[in-house]
Copies of this chain bind each other. A is one copy, B any other.
Amino acid sequence: MATLDDLLEDLVTANHVLAKLGIVDSFGHVSIRHPDRKDRFFLSCSRAPERVKRDDILEFNLECEPIDAKGKHLYTERPIHGAAYEARPDVMCVIHNHSPGVIPYGVTGHKLRPLMHMCATIGHEVPIWDQHRKFGDTDLLVRTMPQGRDLAKKLGKGGTYLMRGHGCVVVGPWMRRTVYTAIYLELNAKLQMQAEAMSRKVRFLTKGEVNKVTETTSPQNVNRAWENWCRMVERPFRE
């Protein structure tokens, strides 16, 4: 059974993996819910994911206030995380990123849908949230809990959504699978562009296929990738 310490080490690894695979650049962040306290989550202080160390991880309540900031700068967009944990008790991990493939969908309204088995965990269709609709001209950052709560509504029961002119959010029931979904969301975005440029008749996964793949995406499956990613970023692998 994973200890809290194990999970926090995994969170550092997740930061490095997402950077290594181009899902985050100097921006974007990943959090996990406290395994024993549903009203707390863990997130790095303000730092590029590739540089996050264990000591950077801070604890927050669901209002996104730090329990102990240790004098560090904080990410502005903490409400993305707090509001998602508040709205969805099943969610144990939240990733926010600007991976390049998803941006064109967000700004055109074109539907991103899974076309490959590895990508099925993104859900049947990825909804788009436009901060402008309710909040008008902003700097597009999710700075307040009302903004965070508005976008958490868009999440519904799904696992992913896009933010127009900004990026996306991926949530999930366990951290490694959520990292996996964020990585394959980006792949699906790129491949769908190519497929649709090739033909108007793209055969996406059926709903039945999406459900079947999601059911069979087990820790053992994901760990094959997780072990590989740990080695890539020179972090220890724990089964």
Contact = CB atoms under 8 A, between A and B. Distances in A.
Interface stretch (A35-43, A84-92, A131-139, A144-152): A131-139
Contact of A103 (B137, B140, B195): B195
Nearest to A190: B100
Contact of A137 (B104, B206, B224): B206
A7 interface: no
Interface stretch (A61-69, A153-161, A226-234): A226-234
A205 interface: yes
A228 B48 contact: yes
A70 interface: no
Interface string A4-19: 0000000000000000
A100 B191 contact: yes
Contacts of A50: 228, 231
A176 B50 CA distance: 19
A71 interface: no
Contacts of A224: 26-27, 46-48
Interface of A: 25-27, 46-48, 50-51, 73, 98, 100, 103-105, 107-110, 115-118, 120, 130, 132, 136-141, 164-166, 187, 190-191, 193-199, 201-206, 208-209, 211-213, 215-216, 220, 224-225, 227-229, 231
Question: Taking each of A139, A193, A212, which has the highest tally of chain B beta carbons within 10 Å of its own beta carbon?
Answer: A139
A180 to B, nearest CB: 9
A204 B107 contact: yes
From A190, A194, A209, A227, residue with most partner B Cβ within 10 Å: A194
B73 A201 contact: no
Contacts of A203: 107-109, 130, 164-165
Given A165-B205, A193-B198, A220 B139 contact: no
Given A115-B165, A165-B115, A137 B209 contact: yes
A109 B73 CA distance: 42
